[in-house]
Structure 1
Amino acid sequence: MSSEERLAERRERLIRSAYILYADLGFPDTTIEKLCAAARISNRAFYECFTGRDELMWVVYNRCVRDNLAAVSAAVEQAPNTLLGRIEAGVAAYIEFVTEDPRRARILHLEVRRAGDCLTSSRQEAVAGFTQIIETNLLQVPEETGVDLHLLVLGMIGAIQELLIEWVLAEDPPPVESVVKTAVYIFNRSLAI
C-alpha cells in the first residue's frame, strides 16, 4: 500500500471505531486513547488522520447525515405524488434509516448535542438540508393562515428529533412503527391534512 492508502485505511478504521465508541460510551467518555486502541493505531497515527476527537465526530456525524439525506430524498422521489404519500415516505425513510442501527440514532440525536460547539454548524446544516426537502416536497400551507412556513418546518423537525431522543433513551423504546405513525400524524396535523 502507498502511504496515502495507509492513511486512508487508518482514517476509515478510526471512523468505524468512533462510530461504535461515540454511540456506546458517549462522546464525552470516548478518549483518543480508546479510539486508538479500538482502531489498532498509535496516538501519533491518530493525529496524522485527525486534529482531535471533535474533527472525528464531525466526520462521523456528517457521514450519517449525508446518508440519511440521500435515503429521504430517494424515498420522497419514489413516493406517490400526493402530499400524504410524500409525507409518509419521507418521514418513514428518515426514522427507519436512523433506527436501523441504534448507534446511528444515538449519534444523530444525542451525541451531537453532547459534542457541543464542534457540531453546531454541522447540525444547523443538517437541519437546513432536511428543511429544504420538506419545503420543496411537502408544504402546502394556505397563505391566509399567517404561519411562517420555515418556522413550521423547524417545529416538525424538532418534534421528530424529540421522538427519536425518547426512542434512544427509553428503557423500553416504543416500536419504530409507532414512532413513524406519531411523526406522520404530527406532520399531517401541522399541515392540517
Structure 2
Amino acid sequence: MTSGQRRGRWSGVPLEDRQARRRGDLIDAGVQLLGSAGGPALTVRAVCRQANLTERYFYESFTDRDEFVRAAYDDVCQRAMATLMSATTAREAVEGFVALMVDDPVRGRVLLLAPEVEPVLTRSGAEWMPNFIDLLQRTLPTITEITDPVTQHMAATSLLGALTALFTAYLGGRLAATRDQFIDYCVDMLLSRAAIP
C-alpha cells in the first residue's frame, strides 16, 4: 500500500475514529474468513490482507488471534441477537434470522459451524447460548404462558436445540425444503403447543 493510498483511505476520518474503523474492517474480514465455504482460513496475515491493513493495525486492536476470533464471533452473535430482539412476532423473528444467517451464509457458518472447528469458540458459544435461551423464554408466548420457571427453561432450551439443528442442516444443504417451507416449519414449531412439554 502506497503512502498516497493510506492518505486517501483515511482522509476526512478524525484521528480518534480511525482505530474504531480499522477494528471494524478487521472484524468484517475475520467474519468473511471464519465463515468461508471451504472452512476457516483465518490467520493474522490473511485477515490483514483481506482488510487491506498491516499487522501493526491488527495488534493495535487485538492482543492475539484467539482474541480476534472471539471478537468476530461475538460480532455475529450480537447481530443475531439484535435481529431477534427487534422482531415483534415469531414469523418476523424467523424471517429476520433466515435473512441474516441463510441469505448471508458466511454469518450462518460463523454462528453455527465455526465453534465446531475453532477450539477458542467452544467457550464463546457456550457463553452466548444462555442469552438466546433467555430471549426465547421471555418472548415466546407458548413458553411465557407456562407458569413453572424450570419447565419454561427446559422448553426454551429444547426449542433452541431443535432450531439450531434445523438451521445447520438447511445452511448445509441437507434439507430439500424451499425457503417458504423452512420458514413456515420453524414458525409452526415455535408457536405449536405440541413442541412444549
TM range (shorter): 0.7 to 0.9
CA 1:166–1:121: 2 relative to 1, 3 Å: same
User: 1:142 deviation in Å?
Assistant: 6.7
Structure 1 position 124 matched with structure 2 position 136: no
Is the aligned partner of 1:157 residue 2:160? yes
Letter in 2 for 1:190: A
Residue 173 of structure 1: CA displacement?
6.2
Paired amino acid for 1:154: T
Indicate if the aligned counterparts of 2:134 and 2:156 stay in contact, CA closer than 8 A.
no
Question: TM-score, structure 2 length as denominator?
Answer: 0.76
Q: CA deviation at 1:125?
A: 3.6
- The answer to whether the aligner puts 1:9 opposite 2:27 as a matched pair is no
User: 2:9 — aligned with what?
Assistant: none
Q: Which has the higher contact order (CA 8 A, sep 6+)?
A: 1
Q: Is the 8 A contact 2:114 2:121 kept in 1?
A: no
- Aligned partner (choices 148, 151, 164) of residue 148 of structure 1: 151
Tell me if the contact between 1:134 and 1:153 (Cα under 8 Å) persists in the aligned partners: yes
Q: CA RMSD of the aligned region, Å?
A: 2.6
Instruction: Report percent identity of matched pairs.
Output: 24
2:54 maps to 1:68: no
Stretches of structure 1 that go unaligned for 5 or more consecutive residues are 80-86
C-alpha distance 107-32 of structure 1, shift in aligned 2 (>3 A): same
Which segments of structure 1 move beyond 6 Å, counting only runs of 4 or more? none
Equivalent residue number for residue 196 of structure 2: 191
Shift of 1:157: 0.6
Distance 1:7 1:142 in 2: 48
Deviations 1:123-146 (A, max 9, x none): 234322222222112212475xx9
Q: Residue 170 in 1 paired to residue 182 in 2? A: no
Contact 1:99–1:176 (CA<8 Å) still a contact in 2? no
The offset of 1:110, in angstroms, is 0.7
Cα shift at 1:58 = 1.7
| Aligned residue identity for 1:15 | I
